[in-house]
Amino acid sequence: MSWRRLRTLLQREVRATLRDPFTVTMLIAVPLGTLLAFGFVLSTEVKHLPLAVLDADGSPASRRLVADLTAKGIFDARLFPTRAAIDRALVAGDVSAALIIPPDFDRRRRAVANGEPAPEVQVIYDGAEAVLAGNAEGFLRSLIAANGVTLTEDVHGGGRVAVVTRALFNPRLDGVPYMVAGTFGFVLSFLTTLITAVSIVNERIAGTFEQLQVTPATSVEIFLGKILPLGVVFALDVGLMMLVAGFVLGVWPQGSVPFFLLVSSFYVLVSLALGLLFSATSATAAEAVQKTVLFSIPLVQLSGFAFPIRNMPAIVRWITEVFPATHYIRISRAIYIRAAGPVSLLPDLFFLVVFAGILLWLALRSIEARA
C-alpha cells in the first residue's frame, strides 16, 4: 500500500466523475427530487374529501349533523336528492363517502330518552380507494360519535372506556418525517449502487480497468481509489439531503447528527461494494443498470421504505432481514424521528457490519479476478 499511488488513483477518479455532466446532474437531482416527491406521499390527514349527503329528514338536528361534519374542513358536503344520484357519483369516483340520514332521524333521536334504540344513519364509503376510505372512516365515525353525544345529552350515563391518546415523537402523526427518513435509505441504496456499477462497467468496456490492473497498483489500492471518492460524494449527498429536508420540509434529525452521519457513511460503503459486485458480473453498462434495477424493486417494496414489514407474511418478513437496506432504513428512522441512541439499535448495527464485511470481501475478490 503506497500513499502516493493511492493519491494518484483518487485524483483520477475525482476528475473522471466530475467530467461527466450526466453523473453530476444525477448526483444532485435524484436525491433532491426523491426527497421532495416522496416526502408528501404518505398522509394520515384527510382534507376536503367530497362527501355526498342525502338528508331525507331535513330537521334542525340533521342539518346540525351535516354542519358538524363539514366544520373542520375534513369533508366537503355535497347534497344529492336521490339514492340513484349518489350511486352514480360513487361509481364515477366523484365522492369518497356518502351519508344518508333517514326521514325519522330527529323523531328517533328524541325517543331515545324513552328508552328507544338510538337513531340510525347510513354511511357508504368508496372502497375502491381502500386507503382513503380507511382514513375517512375513522374521521367520520369519530365526528358522528361526538355529534351524537351532544345531541342526546349523554343519556347513556357511562361505562364506556375513554382513551387518552398521545402520539410520541410525532404528535400530529405527520407523514413527512417517516418518508424523509426512509428516502435516505432509498437514495443511498439505489443511486450509489447504480452509479458505481455504471462507472466501473464503462471502464471495463473502455479497457481502462485492465490498464489499471497491470500498473503496480495493488487491488486494495484500486478498490480504495474507486470507493473513497464516490464515498465522499455520497457523504456530501447525505449532508445536502439533510439540509433540504430541514429547510424545505422542516424535518430535522431528532437524534445525534454525528451518529447519523457515521452510520450513513458506513452504509454508503455497503452499497458501493454491492455496485462493484454488479459491475463485475455484467458485460455492458445497460446490463449492470438492469441488474441494479431488478435488485432495487424488492428494495423499495420489501425494505419497509413504503410498506411496513410487520404487515407482511412471516416468510417474507424473514427474507427482508437479508437486505442491508431494511436495517439501514430502520436505523435511519430511529435516529431521525425517535432520537434513538446506539444501544437500542445494536442488533441492526451488528447486521450492517456483518453485511459490510461480506460484501467488501466479495468486491475485493472481484477486482483481483482478472477478466
Contacts of other proteins in 57-86 (CB under 8 A): 65
Q: Which of 55, 69, 147, 268 binds other proteins (CB under 8 A)?
A: 147
Q: Taking CB under 8 A as the rule, does residue 246 contact other proteins?
A: no
Q: Taking CB under 8 A as the rule, does residue 370 contact other proteins?
A: no
The secondary structure of residue 43, as a DSSP letter, is: -
Nearer to other proteins, 2 or 150 (CB): 150
Minimum CB–partner distance for residue 234 and other proteins (Å) = 16
Q: Which stretch in 132-140, 206-214, 260-268, 321-329 sits in contact with other proteins by CB under 8 A?
A: 132-140
Q: Is 190 exposed, middle or buried (0-12, 13-18, 19+ CB in 10 A)?
A: buried
Q: Which of 71, 173, 206, 354 binds other proteins (CB under 8 A)?
A: 173
Q: Please report, as residue ranges, which positions from 188 to 227 form the binding site for other proteins (by CB under 8 A).
A: 194, 198, 201-202
Contact between 218 and 6 under an 8 Å Cβ cutoff? The reply is: no
Q: Angle between the 219-247 and 346-368 helix axes, to the nearest 10 degrees?
A: 140
Minimum CB–partner distance for residue 109 and other proteins (Å) = 8
Amino acid 45 reads E
Q: Which of 16, 26, 235, 240 binds other proteins (CB under 8 A)?
A: 26
Minimum CB–partner distance for residue 334 and other proteins (Å) = 6
Q: Please report, as residue ranges, which positions from 84 to 103 form the binding site for other proteins (by CB under 8 A).
A: 90-93, 96
Which grid coordinates belong to 351?
Answer: 447486521
Cα separation, 184 vs 169, in Å, equals 19
Q: Please report, as residue ranges, which positions from 300 to 359 form the binding site for other proteins (by CB under 8 A).
A: 300-302, 306-308, 310-313, 316, 330, 333-334, 337-340, 344-345
Nearer to other proteins, 3 or 22 (CB): 22
Cα separation, 140 vs 131, in Å, equals 14
Paired strand residues for 75: 49
Cα separation, 180 vs 40, in Å, equals 9
Residue with cell 421504505: 305
Nearer to other proteins, 258 or 308 (CB): 308
Nearer to other proteins, 109 or 226 (CB): 109
Q: Taking CB under 8 A as the rule, does residue 256 contact other proteins?
A: no
Q: Which of 18, 28, 41, 248 binds other proteins (CB under 8 A)?
A: 41
Q: Taking CB under 8 A as the rule, does residue 33 contact other proteins?
A: yes
Nearer to other proteins, 84 or 92 (CB): 92
Nearer to other proteins, 316 or 354 (CB): 316
Contact between 263 and 235 under an 8 Å Cβ cutoff? The reply is: no
For the sheet containing 49-55, what is the strand order? 75-79, 49-55, 97-101
Minimum CB–partner distance for residue 65 and other proteins (Å) = 8
Phi, psi angles (nearest 5°) of residue 106: -70, -40
Nearer to other proteins, 36 or 261 (CB): 36
Q: What is the 3-state secondary structure (H, E, C) of 205-217?
A: HHCHHHHHHHCCC
Cα separation, 195 vs 282, in Å, equals 14
Cα separation, 93 vs 329, in Å, equals 35
Q: Which stretch in 69-77, 175-183, 259-267, 362-370 sits in contact with other proteins by CB under 8 A?
A: 175-183
Q: Which of 1, 4, 22, 370 binds other proteins (CB under 8 A)?
A: 22
The secondary structure of residue 78, as a DSSP letter, is: E
Using alpha carbons only, give the angle 33, 39, 41 rounded to the nearest 5 degrees.
Answer: 110
